[in-house]
Structures are given as C-alpha cells and as structure tokens.
Amino acid sequence: MPTCRKSSVNPYKGLILTALLLLFYSAYCMAQKPAGTYRLTLVFLKDSSQLFARPSDKLYLYKANWNSLFGTLIDSTVVDRKNRARFSGKVFALDTRINQDSVFTAGEFYVKNQRSVLFSFLYSPMDGGYLKETFLESSDGNLRWHRKGFKPHKATDQDMYQSYSPEIRDRIWNPSLRDLMQAEKKFPNSLVTKFLKFYSKQLSASDPSQLPEIADERLYYTSFGKQYIDIFLDKFKLSNEKVRNMAIDYLMENRYLTDPRMKAAVAMECFRRYSSSIVMGAESGAVHAAEKYILGNEAVAEKDRAEAAYYVTLNKGTLFGSKAPELSLKDTAGTLRSTKDMMGAYSIIYFYSDDCNYCKVETPRFMEFIDSYDQAPLNIMTVYTGTDSKAWKEYVKESFRTINPLVNWIHVADIERESRFPVDYGVASTPKMFLLDESLRIRGRGILTPTLSKILEDEGENSKKAYEYLSTIFSPSGDIPEDELTKTWKSLADRIYQGSNSSDDNYRRLMRQTFMYLYFNEKQTAPLRETAAYLGQRYILDMADRWEDTVFVESVRSAVNSINMNRVGSKAENLHLYDVAGNPSDLLPFDKKYKLLFFYRSNCGVCSQTVGEIMSAFRKYSRKVTFIGIHAGANVAGWKKFIISNNLEFIQLYDKDNLAGLEKYYYVESVPQILLVGPDDMIVARLEGSQVDSALDAIVSEKSKLK
C-alpha cells in the first residue's frame, strides 16, 4: 500500500503572509491617516469627438511631482455605459517628510487615457478635506465644472473647485492681470493663484518676497513648481563661480525653506539645472549644491545621492578655471610624458579611442582645424583610452599627421591601466577635449572642435586688442628725453598693475601681456627695455608666489637679467679668454677702436642666421671696428667646425673650462647677444643683427652719437 507523505508546504504560511500584510497596511494607515475623501465624476458626451472617452475606456488619475516627467499613478477607472467615469479614494494631509507621491494630497493632478491628458486640476488644502466634484464635457471638447454638482463638506477658499471656476479656467494659459487680481482677492493662498502668478510672469528672480513661493511644499506636487527655481537662478546663469554658489546658498538657506524633503528637492533641482547646463563653468554650481546640500543628506533619496556623488567624482577635478590634474603617461617610445611639459603656451588634451565612432568624425575635424591654426604656439597631448598598443600607434600614425610648425605634439596612452586618468578627467566616453591656458588652468572642458576654434579665436582677438592698447599707451610723443619717457612708462606700468589686481587671473593675464609687449617689442628702445625690467622685477618676480606658470616666471627672470647686465653706459668687463688655437687672449684688446662683441653658440639656429649680417658688416668696417666672436657653448669641437663652415674671419674666443667667469659678467643665457663697446670700454649700444650695419655706419661716418 502506498504511503502518504506529508506536504513540505507550511499550512500556516498563508496566514502568516496575510497577517504581515494587515500589519503593514495598519502601519501605513497609522503613518498616513486619511484626512478626508475625494470623489471625482466625469461625464462625457455620447457623440464626443474631442476627448475620445467611450464606454469601457480606461482612465487614469496621475499626481504631478518633480521626480517624474508624467507624475505618479494614484487611481484608475473605466468609463461606464452612460459615458461616466468616477474616481474615488482617500485624501491625506500633505507631509513631504514622507513619500506621498502615490496618494491624494494638495497638488496638481491629471486625468489621462492611453493616448493623452484629458484635463488637469489643482487641489490646494495642505491639511486635506472632503472633495466631491462633477465635470461635464462641453461641445468644444473641454470639461466644465458642474456648479450644481458641488457639495463640499469643508468650505475653504483654497479648494480645488476655486481654481477652475469658469471665469478663470478659459484663460488659464494666457491670464490677464485682472484674472490674477481676482484670484488673489478671492483665494490668495491657493495653488491656482500661484499658477496664475507664474504664467502671468509676475515672479521676479531678484525679489526676496518670492522665496516663500519656492518654499511652499505644495509646489513639489505640481508641474510648474520647480520652474520657480529656474526663474530665480536664471539671473545668475552667466555669473562667475562665486556668485553662482552664493545664489544657491541664498536660495537653500532662506528662512522659509524648513521642510527637509522640500529642501532636498530644491537642492536636487539646483544640482540638475547646473549639471545639465550648456553654459561652460556651470558645473561648479552642480558640484557646490551636491557637496553642501545633497551628499550626506538623508532627506535626499538614495538614488539621487548616488547620482550627485557620481557627478562630483567625474567633474570636481576638472572644473572650469581649476588647475588641471597632472597627467603622466608613456608616449609611443615608452618615455614618461607629463602635462607639466606643456606649461607656457595654450594646451589641448584630447581623449580618444580607435573603436569610437564619434572619434572617427571628430578627429578629422580636429585635424582640419589644427592644419589651419596660425595663432600662438599650441601644445597638444592626445590620450588613447584603449588597451591595444598596436591599434594606438597605427591611429597616431594615420590620424595625427600635420606639418603645422606652431603645434607641439605629445601622444600618450595607459595601455596597462596604471593611472587614474578616467576619474581625474571624468572620461566616461570619448571623444573628450580640454583646453588649458599657460598656467595649465582649464579654460574649456568637454568641448568639441567648433567650440575650441571659437575660444582660441576669441583669445586671439583679445590679445590683438591688448597689443593695440599697449602700443597706444607706450608710444613716445614729441622729443621727450629717454630718462623722462622711462619714468613715465614705469608709472603707466604701476597703473596697469593697480587696474589688474582685482583677481589673480586678471592680474596674471595683464602682467603677462604687458611684459611680453615691452620685452619683445621690435623697436627695442631703452625706455621699453627699462620698463620691461621694472615691471618684470616688481610685479612678476617679486610676486612669484601668485604665478603657477613657473616656466613663464623663469623666462622673465632670465629676461630681466639680460636687461640689467651690460647696460648701455656701463663699463664692459675685460676677461681673459682663449682663442681657437688655445692661446690666451683678452676679450677687450687695447687698440682704442670700437669693438663689436658677438656672443653666440654653434648649435643656435638664430645665431647661424645672424652670422651672415655680422660678416657683411665685418667686410665693410673691419679697419675701424674690431670684431670679436665669443662662443658661449660647451661643445668646443662643434664650435671649431662652425667657424670653418661659416668662414668666420674675425677674432674667435671662448671661456676655457669656465675659468674666466663669462656667464658672471655677460648675459649669455640667451644668444645671440651683440654689444658695441667704445674705445674707453664703455658699452654704447646693444644691437640686433639687423641693426649692426646702420649702427657701425653712424660711427664710422661720425654722423651721430650712439645712445
């Protein structure tokens, strides 16, 4: 006889589940005790061609909220045979400390079918109430409030029926001032008044009295509520980071905004507005809102905190105006290259991948721009984000070919994934491009070629305007003595500094432009050089701690040294050097003649060009002027070959084993340098190669006195 086995199913399992559900429902009811009921009846015309409501059609009641585009479903019903639909349920007091998205409270509601929204209404009471409404479809396809059907159990000036009285409802999308005044008079604190006020554009972003509107908890359950925040923040969308963050703080910390969930919702709207903004630099507002009001705030939903945390991780390190994170990766030869190598000129970091379809479009467009670029020198670091070494090198070879002499390329990758560049630069996808200034501060982030071109074009125009302005104010007028002119221009340098000191960025930009104009000016007059030395020493070298671009500071130091050493009017130092044969020889022979000292290096390209001008002058004036070439380099063998290949016929000397202290008494860090020394060994001129012939002609012909 077969045996019966006991079922493994627990006979009490159903009872336990039922008990748990009842317990949960009881707790839910205790947490959200109903404050009334609603009954909403819709009556449609039988021959309706407007609202498409027919018997057996299903209708839905949705409640608006800021987190959902279409709101949250709270009820549904079916159109009966008499073309009527009825929604009914519990009304709850508004309490944004808990999630009430799916219950009937104060807020905005939609009635929808499967195709579209049939109509919407506003319900105002925060403490709940009893609602019984009937709407009839009219011949124009609209639902009209049925006056006779109204039987409120609690009469209040904020009830839903007030918001859709016929005299206002027909013009609600284009309200007049009269409509608004009527609403404010009859039911001043209702949602419909706020709705009319919003659509009549009476809200002012600069009016502090509007802060209570933003703090109204009912607005969280409306489609237009968060637009109050947009209007408030619109005033600051083009402001700098400091002002934007102050606006967020002013909004978040106003005394009306006390409800935790409402405050959290406003914080998320600030974050989302700035995180999705197309205005470059707005990212800092999103990071500020996230770090100060969202991360660590338990009132913010967990998924929202996660969204904000992810955004901060990807963007905080590369905010507009911030110092770019150092990037140190290997190039195609295996040499470690760093972003520090790019300091001193505008730089681009371009992240790409060989299998990225967008890169296949962007890279050719980028290269087309690079080929036509003709402004200031440009550093470009391309960063391959893949792991296929062969594909990377092929991509570099095929895609980054250009002959533009203004561009310095660095091609790097992290094939072994040893760095954290995806996090540091927020590279979640490619292509992604950053533009850095001379101090490696970010001036463009997440940009593409058209934006890059526009930024550099604008920078070029600004530099041109600055040059034109400087050429106007540093322009000699009349027969002003050089000493007087130098004094005046130093005073102008002081005034430029005073005008630029409003911020570090402004100071660095103007001091750089002014120094470059003065020092590299083609005229090279004494007042220009003296003013450059004054500005460079006082406002750059003495304030070196304000400069992140150490390359520029050191170049200024070198330039100031070159101006201060061997000044016109100072005595030239006689040094004991050696000639090509290794014989000792004085730098300044006692011959009572003018001496032209030409300091150069054999591996200097500019020196090679200047040699031709020196030799031309030598052939014309060698009887009355002593020409002396001084090699300032260390490669003696290369120097001797240079003398032979250029057929240098005048005296050639060098500082053997650096015993004479050439670098101590003469500025030879930057060559070529040309000094003209008088018979009394006083320096009478500092010359460019192109000036040598005319300067010597003036001396030999005794037509003028050299300054």
Q: How confident is the model at residue 248 (pLDDT cuts 50, 70, 90)?
A: very high
Give just the sign of the alpha carbon dihedral 436, 437, 439, 445.
Answer: negative
CB 476 within 8 A of CB 527: yes
Which is more confidently placed, 211 or 465? 465
User: What residue spans of 440-575 are helical by DSSP H?
Assistant: 449-473, 482-500, 504-519, 526-539, 550-564
Q: What is the pLDDT of residue 14?
A: 55
For residue 372, is pLDDT > 80? yes
654, two tokens: 């060098």
pLDDT (mean) for 687-697 = 85
For residue 136, is pLDDT > 80? no
The domains of the chain are located at 35-185, 206-318, 328-456, 477-564, 576-701
Angle formed by the axes of helices 449-473 and 357-372, to 10°? 20
Which is more confidently placed, 22 or 521? 521
Question: Please, is 173 exposed, middle or buried when counting C-beta atoms within 10 Å of its C-beta (0-12, 13-18, 19+)?
Answer: exposed
Q: Which CATH superfamily is domain 328-456 in?
A: Glutaredoxin (3.40.30.10)
Q: How confident is the model at residue 614 (pLDDT cuts 50, 70, 90)?
A: very high
Helix, strand, coil content of the chain in percent (nearest 5): 45, 20, 35
pLDDT (mean) for 322-348 = 90
pLDDT (mean) for 195-217 = 67
Question: What top-level class would CATH report for the domain 576-701?
Answer: alpha beta
* Half-sphere exposure in the Cβ direction for 268 (13 Å, CA): 21
Which is more confidently placed, 162 or 35? 35
For residue 173, is pLDDT > 50? no
pLDDT digits (tens, 9 = 90+) for 179-192: 667 777 777 777 87
- Of all residues in the chain, the percent with pLDDT exceeding 90 is 45
Q: Which of 140-144, 399-403, 428-432, 562-566 has the lowest mean pLDDT?
A: 140-144
pLDDT (mean) for 130-149 = 65
Average pLDDT over all residues of the chain: 84
Rounded Cα–Cα distance for residues 400 and 370 (Å): 10
Q: What is the pLDDT of residue 161?
A: 36
User: What residue spans of 545-691 are helical by DSSP H?
Assistant: 550-564, 605-621, 636-645, 662-665
pLDDT (mean) for 367-396 = 94
**SS3 for 604?**
coil
Q: How confident is the model at residue 310 (pLDDT cuts 50, 70, 90)?
A: very high
Q: What is the pLDDT of residue 166?
A: 35
pLDDT digits (tens, 9 = 90+) for 638-675: 999 999 999 999 999 999 988 888 988 898 887 888 99
End-to-end CA, the chain: 132
Q: What is the pLDDT of residue 6?
A: 44
pLDDT digits (tens, 9 = 90+) for 554-601: 889 988 988 888 888 889 999 999 999 999 999 998 888 899 999 999
Our CA angle for 121, 124, 127, nearest 5°, is 135
Q: What is the pLDDT of residue 526?
A: 81
Q: Which CATH superfamily is domain 35-185 in?
A: Carboxypeptidase-like, regulatory domain (2.60.40.1120)
Rounded Cα–Cα distance for residues 658 and 451 (Å): 52
Q: What is the pLDDT of residue 254?
A: 87
Rounded Cα–Cα distance for residues 90 and 34 (Å): 6
Q: Which of 3-12, 205-214, 346-355 has the lowest mean pLDDT?
A: 3-12
Tell me if 35-185 shares its fold with 576-701. no
Q: What is the pLDDT of residue 193?
A: 78
Q: What is the pLDDT of residue 204?
A: 46
HEC states along 121-184?
EEECCCCCCCEEEEEEECCCCCEEECHHHCCCCCCCCCCHHHHCCHHHHCCCCCCCHHHHHHHH
pLDDT digits (tens, 9 = 90+) for 63-120: 999 888 779 999 999 999 888 999 999 999 998 778 889 999 988 888 888 878 887 8
